[in-house]
Structure 1
Amino acid sequence: MSRRRTLALAAAFAAGALVLAGCTADGDVGEQVANQGYVSGDGSTRQWAVAERGEPVTLTGTDYAGDPVDTSAWRGDVVVVNTWFAACPPCRVEAPDLAAIAADRAADGVHLVGINRTDDAGAAQAFEKKFEIPYPTIDDREGTATAALQGVAPIAATPTTLVLDRQGRVAARVLGLLDRTTLDALIDDVLAEQA
């Protein structure tokens, strides 16, 4: 192999590594998702039995339009929390499913809220417009909403999706790119629990 080709391959590998690191929390290298071309969570799902759930979580902040967001206003309903940022490839893949779930499941008493620790308003609002996101996203560049989840269900990868039960407790978590069928099943499980 020629020196020029070796250098070109090394440069391509280095550039690819930078792109792959783009979807990890705080720049940490996450797990490689097989044949997906990005680094993120592995799509694994965890559910907590009702007796194993901790204290209720309240996420507060301001969305990118400047409106307040407070998940405690939705107590009694199921809340889906999704972390994302505009340049994250799996976030872009799952965005249409999340938008559809927000529309399709609203009548069931399901609310969605995003948390974005990275983007300024311009990048976030462009993403929301492109994917027709109908739910609020907390501008969490200061990390307040994310900090509320530490010790309960830490955000180890982006995207991470949580399902909160009617009391606001974490009932389920998906690390990485979610599958719509899986998320619908997790929501159904929580909806089926007695209020």
Structure 2
Amino acid sequence: MTALDRKFKTEKLLKSLGVPILEQLPLIDEEHEVKLRTAQEVARRILILDYLNYVVDEPDSKQEVIDFLKEQNLHKSISDKEKQFFKYELTEQDRINISWQSEAMLTLLWAIGKVDKLEMPVEETQVSEWLSLLPDLMTDPKEFIDAALLRPIPEILDLLDLTYRMHWAVRNAELNNLDALNFDAGIIQERHYALNWLTYYNDDWDDVVTDT
């Protein structure tokens, strides 16, 4: 499927849902052009986000977590900004931002086939429903990382294109004081962030942008 075909397919779906579209919104990458993170990179990123969420609830565990991540050779997968989160006391906004990243985690779990389907971005995910998909805390994550396999490129680009165009729609509604759409903008933002990182829209996790 070409990027133009994918755009038309997405727009047809959005129109059927009553979601506004912008026909001039650019195409995403072609299937033969896109570059993806490896499945192992994705698995490690999921684990870092998992441990960040853990220290939000258990701030006294930070040093134990850092020691464990170094022992498992995961420390190098922590972004510069995240290293500060692990080192210093978190603000309330930090805690909120990290909590929202559970939506990015779920998206990345989908990308390596641990989650069969992502529902429309209406209700926030309940981490307790899929926490069992991750290794137990402070246990060897090697099997989880080594066994990870990426979904086919067309599936990933289908979701990226849909999320990208949905993101424009919710932003447009907010900016122009239009009737709110039946989607959660926060969920869409986190999915878009994760998918842009997955497809190398930016090199570093901290620097990902979600242009529309």
Q: Same fold (TM over 0.5)?
A: no
Tell me which protein shows more strand as a share of its residues. Answer: 1
Tell me which protein shows more helix as a share of its residues. Answer: 2
Provide the TM-score with structure 2 as the length reference. Answer: 0.26
